Structure 1
Amino acid sequence: MTRFFFDFRPATAGDARVLAILQAHCNLRRVGWLAGACFILLATPPALADLMLFPTRVVFEKNQRAAQLELINNGQESTTYRVHLVNRRMNETGEFTAAEPPLPGEQFADALLRYSPRQVVLAPGRGQTIRILLRKPADLPVGEYRSHLQFDLVPEATGASSIDAQATKPGPGEVGVQLRALVGVSIPVIVRHGETSATVTLAGLELPRPAAGQPAVLAVVLERAGNRSVYGDLVATFTPQGGVPQEVGRAGGVAVYTPNAMRRARLELQPPAGVVLARGTLRLSYRERAEAGGKLLAETSIELP
């Protein structure tokens, strides 16, 4: 099964149909607020391209005990998804793998969470609410706990998905086999219990010389300390000597999850037309998402000759 794991970015306000469907399903009145909210239109294949999730990460803090997640089918066909909790660990480049068994320092939230329903059928243009409940034992140690809510696409047994309809008829003495990739997506569900805090610094900022015809890529290491994860946007700006700062690159939704102490990130730079990355200051900032307040978490810079 092919699965996609995301730290999600905000959608743009350009898709009026998407905003209208989500607004109607969630009974939201402020379209302007909705346009800046975190939801996603998933990448190919088509069945996932039509799945919308809102919000795209769930965080339980303080006395919060319940949350909900909205699923919307923006496609033209009915789809079915099976829902379950999984435990993932992030490596130093941001990739996820199954955390089986847990390693020292890893704290997962699956035993603390209950959710319903566990399977959803989404008709075109319709939505479904997933309700998540948190139950914390009295002796739960202070810290952050994380698991991922996984949505696996269930293949249709009829029509275009039918093996009988698609498979080539085998010849005499042959066996016909059809392989069909199933897809899934997961979002983090985070539980913070007690006093949690984290700090982050940006280290090893480097702008290697790009290969011919390739864009410039800024490399950096995010170093995290504390008992909770960090999550935000990386924004690169360039200030030429005697000029004004201009944004030249952005990466949204960059996380460093516990217990990881660091993450290596690479940010492709796309300077505005006519801007040459030379004789000036290249600055990289790491901020909380705008919907979380936009607080500056860390910043660093290098001088370009």
Structure 2
Amino acid sequence: MKAKLIVPMLVTLGLSQNVFAGAASITFSQYRILLDKNIQSSELTLRNTEANNAECLLDLAHFNFEINNNIVAQKSADTTYMPANKLLRYSPRSVTIPAFGSQKVKISYRHRANLEPGEYVSFFQIGCSEKNDNLVKGQPNIGAKINYNLPVQVRIGEATATSAFEVVSISPKGEGAQLVLKQTRQGNRSVVGDIKIIEKSSGDVLGLVRNFSLYRPAEYAEHIVNLEKKPQSDVLVEFAEASNVYMPITQTFEIPQSRF
């Protein structure tokens, strides 16, 4: 069973002068950072999976989310819906990661008075490129710089949300089916979790959406889930946030087998 993975991280690629012609490959210990009254600091580990040293610069990027959860880049925090930039502290802000090595970054948020309860979001923009210590003078060295954008969600006060699902369509696809679900969101925080499509008679997981983020202030998103076989019984749709989230959302509903 193949899982549809929705990683809450954005990756962009650009060209950077005087950088070795290669792009650093970095993995992370987590791909979303959540801070709230129970978790006020976190640690992010950057791992270099290449045989060359990597140079990375850390900054903050900003995005807005439309009503249907589409993402729109913003030039600054000034035009961003409830950005977290004024709440965050992190260090170091530039690192050199040795070949196959790692580097830790500490993240925390500062308390500020009279903040509106709810969720504040900014993105860590981690721009990485391979470091070449053997540049030839006079030769152009133009290589790729990859920007990894990891969401940082700071939840202040009573940040709560509700979510609901409805079936948009079900259609045959190969030996299985294509299921389209609409998920709605209400409240003053985002909703992040996994969706499982389970055949009740066998317990088989026929479809999976992992780490999906329905960001505030978006109101809905659609999920297209391809089932590898036609269900032989009613289907159970399960949605669950991580158990360590304050007031996590969990919900289930059934789809009759006759609809397939």
TM beyond 0.5: yes
- Contact 1:80 / 1:121 at 8 angstroms: preserved in 2? yes
Larger Rg: 1
Cα distance, 1:67 vs structure 2 = 2.3
Q: Relative to structure 1, is the Cα distance of residues 158 and 96 closer, same or farther in structure 2, using a 3 angstrom cutoff? A: farther
Q: 2:109 aligns with which of 124, 134, 139?
A: 134
CA contact (8 A) 2:160 2:247 kept: no
Partner of 1:298: 251
Q: Which amino acid aligns with 2:98?
A: A
Which residue of 238, 247, 261 maps to 2:219?
261
2:184 maps to which residue?
A: 223
Any gaps of 5 or more consecutive residues in structure 2? 1-5, 14-21
Aligned counterparts of 1:159 and 1:148: Cα–Cα separation in 2: 33
The answer on 1:7 being equivalent to 2:8 is yes
What does residue 281 of structure 1 align with? 234
2:69–2:218 CA contact under 8 A, matched in 1: no
Any idea what the Cα deviations from partners look like across 1:254-296, whole Å, max 9, x if unmatched? 111111111111122234xxxx33x531222111236659966
The answer to which of 224-233 and 260-269 deviates more is: 260-269
Q: 1:79 aligns with which of 45, 54, 62?
A: 54
User: Does the CA contact (< 8 Å) of 1:216 and 1:269 recur in 2?
Assistant: yes
Q: Which has the higher contact order (CA 8 A, sep 6+)?
A: 2
Say whether the 8 Å CA contact 1:82–1:152 is kept in structure 2. yes
Which residue of structure 2 lines up, in the alignment, with residue 186 of structure 1?
Answer: 149
| CA pair 220-88 structure 1, distance change in 2 beyond 3 A | same
The CA RMSD measured in Å over matched residues stands at: 3.5
How do 1:85-164 residues align onto structure 2 when only pairs under 5 Å count? Answer: 85-91=60-66, 95-100=70-75, 106-154=81-129, 156=131, 164=139
Q: Is the 8 A contact 1:81 1:154 kept in 2?
A: yes
Give the partner amino acid of 1:265: H
Alignment of 1:166-205 (within 5 A): 181-205=144-168
- What corresponds to 1:251 in structure 2? 209
1:55 is paired with a residue whose SS is coil
Shift of residue 192, structure 1, vs aligned partner: 0.8
Compared CA separation, residues 96 and 105, structure 1 to 2 (3 A): closer
SS of structure 1 residue aligned to 2:86: helix
AA aligned to 1:112 is L
TM-aligned CA distance change 1:134 to 1:289, over 3 Å = closer
Mapped to 2, the partners of 1:285 and 1:197 lie a distance apart of 20
Deviations 1:212-240 (A, max 9, x none): x596332111111111111110101124x
How many residues align? The count is 244
Higher strand fraction (1 or 2): 2
Distance 1:117 1:47 in 2: 21
Q: Structure 1: 5+ residue runs without aligned partners?
A: 9-41, 167-177
**By how many angstroms is 1:155 displaced?**
5.3
Following the alignment from structure 1 to structure 2, what is the Cα–Cα distance between the partners of residues 216 and 52?
34
Contact preservation (8 Å) 1:74, 1:124: yes
Counterpart amino acid of 1:108?
P
Contact (CA 8 Å) 2:23, 2:144: kept in 1 or not? no
Q: Distance in 2 between matches of 1:161 and 1:203?
A: 60
How far did residue 74 of structure 1 move? 2.7
Give the match for residue 3 of structure 2: none
Q: Is the 8 A contact 1:205 1:301 kept in 2?
A: no
The question of 1:238 aligning with 2:228 is answered: no
- Cα distance in 2, alignment partners of residues 261 and 70 from structure 1: 32
Residues 113-162 of structure 1, C-alpha deviations (whole Å, 9 max, x = no match): 12211111110132111122312321211111011111112354666999
Q: What is the aligned partner in structure 2 of residue 175 from structure 1?
A: none
- SS of the aligned residue for 2:234 comes to strand
Maintained 8 Å contact 1:237/1:284 = yes
**TM-score normalised by the chain length of structure 2:** 0.78
Report deviation, 1:165: 6.6
- Deviation, 1:103, is 9.4
CA shift for structure 1 position 107: 0.9
TM-score between the two structures when normalised by the length of structure 1? 0.68
